[in-house]
Amino acid sequence: MSPDLRLACLLKFREQIKGPSEVAVLRSIEAGIAGGVAGNVQGGYDRELLASLPQAFAMLETTPEPDRAMVRDVVITLTHGMEFDLETFPPEDANRIAVLQDFAALDTYTYYVAGCVGEFWTSISMTHTPALGKWDTAAMKENSVRFGKALQLTNILRDVPKDLRIGRCYLPESWLSATGLAPTDLLQLSDVSAARPVLYAGIGKALEHFTAAEEYVLAIPGRCLRLRLAALWPVLIGLATLSRLARNDGWLDVDKPSRVNRSWVYRMMVRSWPSATSDTLLKRWIRALRREVEASLPARENAATLGDLM
């Protein structure tokens, strides 16, 4: 699908989210996408999803306020992230790489695609969970935005080699130029040590955000077990992923991904059930994972601030 067609469908979709929606317009989005992708959406789940747009929008229209307003707000913000992607990066077959200019651009992007989800999660949880009635709304929303950014930044760092190969460099150009590198160099480095300061800068910023994520998890009352676990698991997986990234000598190799395996996830989930109601046990667990990440960073890089690169 061409970027122009993607953007046109996206903008049309955004207007429908703002409401009121029109079935004819939703069908035109489906037809436009199906016609623009040579055979790729002729069957399967993608086609099923597109065909269900009228039903999905009907559900949105019948959702009571304030839930409907919150859903609209978060989806509209997410579409701004998609628009940012389409306008910033080339088509995947363009054989060139575009790069974000600076950390401010990266920070804006992580808000559009993940930080806003943290805000939505907080708003919807506070609306429907009486036990959260004493939360400081402003403070918790700020922490939730940083929570989302922590997870997205971790994903970005993990997916650098894959993204580079489709023309996307989310690592800021200001970070790369400070180390004498250009985005294309990351595809050709035989010695990845030259790029490690950039990786460590990203890990350092992610760790800062994970501090807010830890505060967020601990602010959820222990009696709200499922809600606490739903927030806890991404924190644990994110920190474990950062630890693997910091220790991965082939972090720029698409064939050597920094991921936690399925068995680690299952063990973590089992362990989390008896631990989740105890603030002391959770603090100990989360901070042990943080120390594991920090111990994997060379002392010089670990002490450096992001300001040294920006």
Given a contact cutoff of 8 angstroms between Cβ atoms, the answer to whether 156 and 114 are in contact is: no
Which of 23-37, 87-101, 221-235 is predicted with the least confidence, judged by mean pLDDT? 23-37
pLDDT band at 43 (very low <50, low <70, confident <90, very high): low
- pLDDT tens profile 138-155: 999 999 999 999 999 999
Among 10, 2, 1, which residue's Cα sits nearest to residue 40?
A: 1
Which of 43-47, 119-123, 191-195, 232-236 is predicted with the least confidence, judged by mean pLDDT? 43-47
Residues in the chain: 310
User: Which pLDDT belongs to residue 188?
Assistant: 86
User: Which pLDDT belongs to residue 49?
Assistant: 85
User: Which pLDDT belongs to residue 299?
Assistant: 65
Decide if pLDDT at 300 tops 60.
no
Average pLDDT score over the chain: 91
- pLDDT tens profile 95-125: 999 999 999 999 999 999 999 999 999 999 9
Measured CA to CA, the distance from residue 90 to residue 96 in angstroms comes to: 7
Decide if pLDDT at 77 tops 50.
yes
The whole-model pTM stands at: 0.92
Residue written as token pair 């207007």: 15
User: Which pLDDT belongs to residue 47?
Assistant: 79
Decide if pLDDT at 42 tops 80.
no
- Max intra-chain CA distance, the chain: 60
- Please work out, in degrees rounded to the nearest 5, the angle formed at the alpha carbon of residue 5 by the alpha carbons of 40 and 36: 30
Residue written as token pair 């109601």: 277
Given a contact cutoff of 8 angstroms between Cβ atoms, the answer to whether 197 and 191 are in contact is: no
pLDDT band at 36 (very low <50, low <70, confident <90, very high): low
Higher pLDDT, 37 or 148: 148
Decide if pLDDT at 39 tops 70.
no
Average pLDDT score over residue span 156-167: 96
Average pLDDT score over residue span 215-242: 97
- pLDDT tens profile 266-287: 999 999 999 999 999 999 999 9
Which fold would CATH assign to domain 97-308? Farnesyl Diphosphate Synthase (1.10.600)
Residue ranges per domain, the chain? 97-308
Measured CA to CA, the distance from residue 243 to residue 170 in angstroms comes to: 20
Measured CA to CA, the distance from residue 245 to residue 264 in angstroms comes to: 16
